[in-house]
Amino acid sequence: MCAVAFAALACGPGAAQERLALLAQPGPWSAVSGLVGYGERLWLVNSVLFVNHNSADIYSFDPKTGVVRYEAHLFSQGAGQPAVADGLLYWPFEDARSSVGRGEFMVTDGRRWAWHFLPQGQVFHVHAMIAHEGAIYAATSAWRAGVQRSDDGGRTWRVHYEHPSAPRTVSRFTTLAAFGGELYAGLTAWREKGVKLYRLTGNGAVPATAWPEGQAVTALAAYAGWLYGVNHGTAGSVLWRTNGAIAEPIAAFAAERVRDLAAADDRLWAVTARPGGGALWSSRDGVAWTLAQEFKGAQPADLAVYAGRVYVGTIGPQGRGGLWGPPPPTPVEAAAPTPAPPSPWRSNAQGLAHALGVLDRALAAPAGHAHHGEALRAAVRALVSRGSPAVGTALQRRLDRPGSDRSVRLFGGGLTVPAVTLERWYLLWGLAFNGHGRVPPAYLTAPWRQEPNPAEKYLEPAPMAMWAAGRLGQNDEATIAALIEALGRTGEAPWLNGDRIGALTALTGERFGYDFAGWRAWWAARRRAGPHGKSTGPAR
């Protein structure tokens, strides 16, 4: 464990003096982030930040008992900032691995999970979600940064604003905050001059009044009549604040980079980061700041105030992400009942025979594979919006077609695969989103043949097949056996185990996480028990 110098701090009105302790290192990956209070638990993601990686696992922490519980796996390279809306928890995908050019997210009531995507606009990442004035907003990035809005709990979406970026330049809205009855978004566009804090209007967005120019705005938080944000410019990163009419810099962090902000009832909190360490700070007026705690060997990545207490997610210590907070037991108020997650929006606008004909033409023609299989993706999306058994059967049959061995170059030439590999990837994605059909178990254990690439983008069938099996609730003995037997297989990328564990958790309801021995012991006991030892069913 890293050495930490503690300072006493009070985390809420009348709260006892507390010190943050290392509460958990929940998984194998190097960072803990995405902290959000939901129900009677603090939720978080364990992943790898700031580099391409293919695993993001959701955990929850019980402040009363100190118990950490594995919850779900995201089929994504990372997780954006989650949101609580109308009693449900929304988890955005940062760079969804299905790579369909659409943003994706999960929504849960704490037990059941539903998978959705944003059908409008081009999306590479969904960086953040927020509930505001009865709607849900999603901050996205692509060749044009965007903000999307849903008025029905995430079933349907519309593009609220797209930022006019320079050609072939990625721009990103990475953070959202409500202030003064309005919604603000922080833009990252490193090559573009101008203000990077935007205020959403009824039909778009405008630069915030008096905010300085820069390259990016991150870590927004509203507190005591001001909106605070980190403005990144050519001279460095500076904390600024605005009341909607004027803006002013905060000089307290001249030698520190503010990574995140969080507001409590009586003070504003900040975490700063530097190589190998960082610090936690607090302020009652937003101007004068007091060092609350220093971290050595763990770099703060995220910050949240939950039930009046401060929690910090870190990169490290010792190569594994950490959750820091007040030692349990910490009281939490009873949670209100939650509704079930919404089902995906479905449409039967086209006749099935016509839609299948469009798919078959996209599969057969080279044009269907151009632009990362754009025509193929569109054909599959049109089919799976039905959510029908007939579509599941049709997609499953097409998995077995020989396909073309013609090479397809993807991701700027960083990946080259046979056309049939691309086809099967999107057919498996279609099975998963359709919710009907079956993944052949052989796809779950297919050998891993792709060499590493900088973008960490791969289209070998096994990862998508595992995700699809979990979404389909395919919890038969052959599927479970294939997943467990492959756990810890050598010669593969280690994040593939995250895909197996995510599928196993969704299919069985068991929560062994990365305890391979625990999974194998459970499976052996179940097989000895015979038919009555079958799984409890999918936690979907």
Confidence of residue 15 (pLDDT cuts 50, 70, 90): very low
The string of pLDDT tens digits covering residues 209-255 is 999 999 999 999 999 999 999 999 988 899 999 999 999 999 998 77
* Tokens at 3, concatenated: 């050495």
Whether the CB-CB separation of 114 and 343 falls below 8 Å is answered with yes
Confidence of residue 335 (pLDDT cuts 50, 70, 90): confident
Q: Which of 265-274, 424-433, 484-493, 523-532 has the lowest mean pLDDT?
A: 523-532
Q: What are phi and psi of 213, to 5 degrees?
A: -70, 160
Say how far apart CA 312 and CA 326 lie, in whole Å: 10
Say how far apart CA 228 and CA 248 lie, in whole Å: 10
Say how far apart CA 463 and CA 450 lie, in whole Å: 12
Q: Which of 285, 303, 310 is nearest to 225 (CA)?
A: 285
Say how far apart CA 69 and CA 43 lie, in whole Å: 9
Query: Dihedral, CA atoms, 452, 454, 456, 460, nearest 10 degrees?
Result: -40
Q: Which of 339, 426, 337 is nearest to 384 (CA)?
A: 426
Query: Dihedral, CA atoms, 228, 136, 325, 48, nearest 10 degrees?
Result: -90
Q: Which of 309, 296, 315 is nearest to 33 (CA)?
A: 315
High-pLDDT (> 70) share of the chain, %: 94
DSSP secondary structure of 195-235: B-EEEEETTEEEEPTTPPB-SEEEEEEEETTEEEEEEEETT
Distant-in-sequence, close-in-space partners of 525: CB < 8 Å, separation ≥ 6: 533
3-class DSSP assignment, residue 383: helix
Confidence of residue 390 (pLDDT cuts 50, 70, 90): very high
User: Residue 450 pLDDT > 90, yes or no?
Assistant: no
Does residue 538 have a cis bond before it (omega within 30 degrees)? no
